[in-house]
């Protein structure tokens, strides 16, 4: 396998029982785990359909998320899974670096509109090593997808305002970041406004199908 093709996706998935609390009253608490899993499945389906990836790791301690990972041929890692997105990605990056993998492509499990074509665009932008490719959130505050080669070349720290700090971290590591603005990657579902924006965009996603099912039952 060529170095360029040796890109491994990493998807952190937190315990679904605690997932998506910031959706507040937009989604009933008992339904949030189902929404989280539906979105994660949309992400894993897009990754599994991406021929340019060498493989997929899901970082989780959640039984349902682990079962979902297995259905899409993803490897499950538990190291760092209790340490938030930053700790989960850092643990995966360390493992990939130890195994001398070419690159990490980290993407959260709440981007239901991501497509295999967008994944291909990120991987296609990776033309050198070391390298740093980043796709921000729609508001250009968060970092919704990062390809880093080698996997531990740049320390990654996630949060609501991580995009500009990640650009700075890459430059401190001697890398000029490549920025891709991708609509599917850009829309992560964190709060009611994100959910409303998602529902305005037609899609055949599992997340949308579940939300429409919930709405039908509510008004049935």
Instruction: Name the region of 22 (left: φ>0; alpha: ψ -120 to 50; beta: rest).
Output: alpha
Domain 7-219 sits in which CATH superfamily? Answer: Spore Coat Polysaccharide Biosynthesis Protein SpsA; Chain A (3.90.550.10)
* Cβ-proximal residues to 110 (8 Å cutoff; 6+ apart), any chain: 20, 36, 39, 40, 43, 188, 189, 190
> What percent of the chain shows pLDDT beyond 90?
84
Q: Please compute the mean of the pLDDT values over residues 27-33 and round it to a whole number.
A: 86
Lowest mean pLDDT among 26-40, 122-136, 191-205: 26-40
**What are the domain boundaries of the chain?**
7-219
Confidence band, pLDDT 50/70/90 cuts, at residue 4: very low
**Per residue in 104-145, pLDDT tens?**
999 999 999 999 999 999 999 999 999 999 999 999 999 999
Q: Assess whether pLDDT exceeds 90 at residue 17.
A: no
CA atoms of 86 and 107, how far apart (whole Å)? 12
Query: Crossing angle of helices 32-48/63-71, nearest 10°?
Result: 30
* Average of per-residue pLDDT values in the chain: 93
Lowest mean pLDDT among 3-17, 52-66, 150-164, 179-193: 3-17
pLDDT at position 5: 63
pLDDT at position 61: 97
Q: Please compute the mean of the pLDDT values over residues 72-77 and round it to a whole number.
A: 98
Query: SS3 for 8?
Result: strand
């Amino acid at each position: 396998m060529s170095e360029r093709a040796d890109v491994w996706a990493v998807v952190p998935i937190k315990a679904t029982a605690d997932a998506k609390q910031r959706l507040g009253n937009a989604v009933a608490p008992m339904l949030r785990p189902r929404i989280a899993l539906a979105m994660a499945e949309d992400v894993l389906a897009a990754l599994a359909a991406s021929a340019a990836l060498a493989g997929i790791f899901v970082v989780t301690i959640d039984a349902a998320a682990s079962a979902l990972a297995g259905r899409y041929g993803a490897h499950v890692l538990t190291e760092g899974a209790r340490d938030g997105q930053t700790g989960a990605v850092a643990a995966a990056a360390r493992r990939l670096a130890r195994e001398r993998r070419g690159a990490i492509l980290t993407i959260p499990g709440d981007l239901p509109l991501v497509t295999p074509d967008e994944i291909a665009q990120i991987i296609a932008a990776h033309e050198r090593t070391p390298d740093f490719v980043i796709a921000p959130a729609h508001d250009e505050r968060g970092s919704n997808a990062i390809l880093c080669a080698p996997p531990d070349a740049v320390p990654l720290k996630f949060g609501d305002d991580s995009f500009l700090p990640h650009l700075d971290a890459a430059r401190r590591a001697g890398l000029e970041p490549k920025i891709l603005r991708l609509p599917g990657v850009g829309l992560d579902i964190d709060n009611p406004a994100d959910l409303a924006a998602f529902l305005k965009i037609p899609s055949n996603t599992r997340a949308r199908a579940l939300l429409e099912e919930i709405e039908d039952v509510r008004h049935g």
